[in-house]
Structure 1
Amino acid sequence: MSTAKKTPGAKPSNPGTRKSSTKSARSRAREFALQGLYQHFVGGSDVAVIDAFTRELQGFNKADSVHYDALLHGCIELAADLDALIVPLLDRELGQISPIEHGCMWIGAYEFLKCPDVPWRVVLNECIELAKDFGGTDGHKYVNAVLNGIAPRLRTVEVEADRAAKA
Structure 2
Amino acid sequence: MEEEGPVSPRTQSRRVALQALYQWQMNHDEPFDIIKQFSEDGLLTDVDAPLFRDLLNSVSGQVTELDAIFAPFLDRAVAMIDPVEKNILRMGVYELQSKPEIPYRVVINESVELAKRFGAEDSHKYINGVLDKVALELRSLEKTQMD
**TM-score if structure 2 supplies the norm length?**
0.94
Question: Does structure 1 residue 137 correspond to structure 2 residue 137?
Answer: no
Unaligned 5+ segments in structure 1 are 1-13
1:33-82: CA deviations, max 9, x gaps? 10011112212222222222222334421100011111110101111110
Question: Does structure 1 residue 154 correspond to structure 2 residue 138?
Answer: yes
1:71-126: CA deviations, max 9, x gaps? 11010111111000111111112121111101110110010011111110000000
2-side partners of 1:64 and 1:38: how far apart? 19
Secondary structure of the corresponding residue to residue 107 of structure 1: helix
Choose the corresponding residue for 2:83, options 83, 92, 99: 99
Once superposed, which parts of structure 1, at least 4 consecutive aligned residues long, lie more than 6 Å away?
none
Secondary structure of the corresponding residue to residue 45 of structure 2: helix
- Structure 1 residues 56 and 139, CA, compared in 2 at 3 Å: closer, same or farther? farther
1-side partners of 2:125 and 2:41: how far apart? 29
Choose the corresponding residue for 2:13, options 29, 32, 50: 29
Choose the corresponding residue for 1:60, options 44, 47, 57: 44
2-side partners of 1:72 and 1:106: how far apart? 10
1-side partners of 2:43 and 2:6: how far apart? 13
Give me the CA root mean square deviation. 1.4
Tell me which residue corresponds to 1:90. 74
Unaligned 5+ segments in structure 2 are none
**TM-score if structure 1 supplies the norm length?**
0.83
Larger Rg: 1
Q: Mean alpha-carbon deviation: is it higher for 119-128 or for 44-53?
A: 44-53
Aligned residues: 147
